[in-house]
Chains A and B, each alone.
Chain A
Amino acid sequence: MDNLRTAGESGNELRRIVRINEEIKSVVATAFKINLMAMNAIFLAKRAGQSALGFGVLSNELRRFATDLQQQMSTLRETTYGSVSTVTSLLKQARTSRILNRTRKESDPAGRVIVDQLLRQRDLSTLARSKEQLAALNRRLSQMIADTTQLVELGSVLARSAKIEAAYGGGFSASLMQVSSDFERTIGDIQHSLEKLTKHHGDSRA
């Protein structure tokens, strides 16, 4: 029964990690978009000259933010890859345990004793180790999602400040406003993806 439960849990875990990975991909794509937008904003601020000095500083910060975000997401992807391989190994072990349980059921008393010995050894070693490994990966993933959320908060503050600075852009004000609104919307998209990511990650911990 425990092994059946492990197989079911591992299957759910694998599906959950696939969903997380999909969300990470979408954040990575958006972060790449922000990087391009920040480069555009830097050029625009240069053209605006003295009247957009504050906006120029913020564009540089936004570009740094986009690079940090990309870096963070690539580490997150590596962590989920580690989770996929741990869950795959758990699934394999669960299948072995399922077959062993069937073997136990079908065997005569002598065979049952042999299978019981092996099942006891397995429960104490491999299965427990993999579960522990997965729990550690999950803890790391939680920490990374929290760090990313914090980073995106900073991006959101930068986008709002850029919007304020855009108002002082003189003749370039309208275009600067357009660029900073795009920033704000895109960071909003990232926040939405991160909320989904947090939800999918939280699903396994509920």
Chain B
Amino acid sequence: MKTARVIFEDGAHKWLAIVRDSTRPEFIIDTNEYLVISDGDAILLDPGGAEIFPAVFSAISTSFDPRRINKIFSSHQDPDVISSLAMWLEFNPEIKCYLSWMWQGFIPHFGGGADTFVPIPDNGMDIVLGSQRMQAIPAHYLHSSGNLNFYDPKAKILFSGDVGAALLPPGDDNLFVENFDQHIRHAEAFHRRWMGSEKAKRDWCTRVSGLDIEMMCPQHGAIYRGADVRRFIDWFSRLDIGVLKS
């Protein structure tokens, strides 16, 4: 059973992390979903796969009416990221799904019609949420060829998709990274294999270094906060990527 935990709140601006599904079957990868609410406007970041929809829906419904989710952000095209789209559309057929222009013709295989999708250009774009302006940040080739992060300048939170993801061992259920050196061991093999472009990595490190980030939220594993965000960027910039595990 997943739980929705508030990781940021300032008046009508709020971030919920939907994490740790202990009842999830072992053959399905664990994912984090994030709901950002601002002045009643709500965007769900990487809503997850169809099979975990019940867990995500039920966790959200404990603190927010899921029918009021009117935007979805899909960092890339993987099924564990967005295959639940059709289920969310059942509850609100007016949902707009923001995603890289590259996946506009692919994601409709999971659901949605011509009016559902808002293509994001390669250099990113602003997404209005309530009275705030969020930013879709380019993270192409990390790991998908059309890959985007989501930055909230008010909360100073970066949703980083697969960047920063860690495949944690069973029982390691911390919401936040508590010991960076121990945690990063569970992220290393994943980043070496799944991140394919050295140049894209350097570009991303430079780009996010210019942002004011207090929390970096990946799609898998624990959330980096405070100094651990900088630690991660430095670690990643030094990591040899695009290699098979030896």
Point out residues on A near B: beta carbons under 8 Å: 95-96, 99-100, 102-103, 105-108, 110-111, 114-115, 118, 122
Interface string of B51-79 (1 = CB under 8 A from A): 10111011001100111000000000000
A110 shortest CB reach to chain B, Å: 6
Determine the main DSSP class of B at the interface with A. helix
Residues of chain B in range 49-108 having any CB-CB distance to chain A below 8 Å: 50-51, 53-55, 57-58, 61-62, 65-67, 86-87, 90-91
Given that A105-B54, A106-B55, A114-B67 are known contacts, is A100 also in contact with B61, CB under 8 Å in the complex? no
Given that A103-B54, A103-B57, A114-B67 are known contacts, is A96 also in contact with B87, CB under 8 Å in the complex? yes
Q: List 6 A-B contacts (CB under 8 A).
A: A96-B87, A99-B53, A107-B58, A108-B61, A110-B62, A114-B61
Asked if B243 CB lies within 8 Å of chain A CBs, one says: no
A143 shortest CB reach to chain B, Å: 35
* Given A95-B50, A114-B91, 14 further pairs, Cβ under 8 A: A99-B51, A99-B53, A99-B54, A100-B87, A103-B57, A103-B58, A105-B54, A106-B58, A107-B57, A108-B62, A110-B65, A111-B61, A111-B66, A114-B67
A111, B90: Cβ atoms under 8 Å? no
B55, A96: Cβ atoms under 8 Å? no
Nearest opposing residue in chain A for B60, CB measure: A111
> Residues of A contacting B29 with CB < 8 Å?
none
Nearest opposing residue in chain A for B65, CB measure: A114
CA distance A111 to B1 in the complex (A): 14
Nearest opposing residue in chain A for B61, CB measure: A111
Interface string of B128-156 (1 = CB under 8 A from A): 00000000000000000000000000000
Nearest opposing residue in chain B for A113, CB measure: B61
> Residues of A contacting B61 with CB < 8 Å?
107-108, 110-111, 114
> Residues of B contacting A110 with CB < 8 Å?
61-62, 65
Task: Kindly name the residue among B1, B61, B87 whose own CB sees the greatest number of chain A CB atoms within 10 A.
Answer: B61
B110 shortest CB reach to chain A, Å: 11
> Residues of A contacting B91 with CB < 8 Å?
114, 118
B65, A106: Cβ atoms under 8 Å? no
> Residues of A contacting B86 with CB < 8 Å?
96
B87, A99: Cβ atoms under 8 Å? yes
> Residues of B contacting A107 with CB < 8 Å?
54, 57-58, 61
A102, B90: Cβ atoms under 8 Å? no
> Residues of B contacting A103 with CB < 8 Å?
53-54, 57-58, 87
From the candidates A95, A111, A118, A122, name the one contacting B58 in the complex (CB within 8 A).
A111
CA distance A114 to B88 in the complex (A): 12
A9 shortest CB reach to chain B, Å: 21
A111, B87: Cβ atoms under 8 Å? no
> Residues of A contacting B54 with CB < 8 Å?
99, 102-103, 105-107
A104 shortest CB reach to chain B, Å: 8
Q: 4 nearest interchain CB pairs?
A: A111-B61, A103-B54, A107-B58, A102-B54
From the candidates A96, A105, A106, A108, name the one contacting B90 in the complex (CB within 8 A).
A96
From the candidates B1, B50, B66, name the one contacting A106 in the complex (CB within 8 A).
B1
A118, B66: Cβ atoms under 8 Å? no
Interface string of B23-60 (1 = CB under 8 A from A): 00000000000000000000000000011011101100
B87, A114: Cβ atoms under 8 Å? no
> Residues of A contacting B90 with CB < 8 Å?
96, 100, 118, 122
> Residues of B contacting A105 with CB < 8 Å?
54
> Residues of A contacting B57 with CB < 8 Å?
103, 106-107, 111, 115
A111, B62: Cβ atoms under 8 Å? yes
Nearest opposing residue in chain B for A122, CB measure: B90
CA distance A103 to B57 in the complex (A): 7
From the candidates A99, A111, A115, name the one contacting B50 in the complex (CB within 8 A).
A99
CA distance A99 to B66 in the complex (A): 15
Interface string of B1-29 (1 = CB under 8 A from A): 10000000000000000000000000000
